[in-house]
Amino acid sequence: MRPLPLDQVYRFIEPGPVVLLSTAQDGHANVMTMSWHMMMEFTPPLIACIVSEGDFSFRALKATGECVIAIPAVGLAEKVVAAGNASGRDGDKFARVGLTPAPASKVGAPLVKECFANLECRVVDTALVPAYNLFVLEVVAAWSDPAQEAPKTLHHRGYGTFAVDGEIITLDSRMP
Residues near a copy of itself (CB under 8 A) are 10-11, 14-17, 33, 35-41, 46, 48-50, 74, 77-78, 81, 84-85, 125, 127-128, 131-132, 134, 136, 152-153, 155-176
Diameter of the chain measured on Cα atoms? 50
Neighbouring CB atoms inside 10 A of 28's CB total 14
> Minimum distance from CB of 104 to a copy of itself (Å)?
24
58 phi and psi angles, rounded to 5 deg:
-55, -50
Nearer to a copy of itself by Cβ, of 65 and 84: the residue is 84
Own/partner pairs for 102-106, CB < 8 Å, 24+ apart?
104/68, 104/141, 105/141, 106/140, 106/141
DSSP class per residue in 141-152: EEEE-TTS-SPP
> Minimum distance from CB of 33 to a copy of itself (Å)?
7
Nearer to a copy of itself by Cβ, of 76 and 104: the residue is 76
> Minimum distance from CB of 3 to a copy of itself (Å)?
18
> Minimum distance from CB of 74 to a copy of itself (Å)?
8
Nearer to a copy of itself by Cβ, of 102 and 123: the residue is 123
> Minimum distance from CB of 92 to a copy of itself (Å)?
20
Nearer to a copy of itself by Cβ, of 6 and 40: the residue is 40
DSSP class per residue in 3-31: E--GGGTHHHHTT---EEEEEEETTEEEE
Nearer to a copy of itself by Cβ, of 72 and 108: the residue is 72
Q: Please list, in sequence order, all residues whose beta carbon lies within 8 angstroms of the beta carbon of residue 112, skipping any fewer than 6 positions away.
A: 20, 22, 31, 68, 70, 72, 99, 100, 101, 102, 118
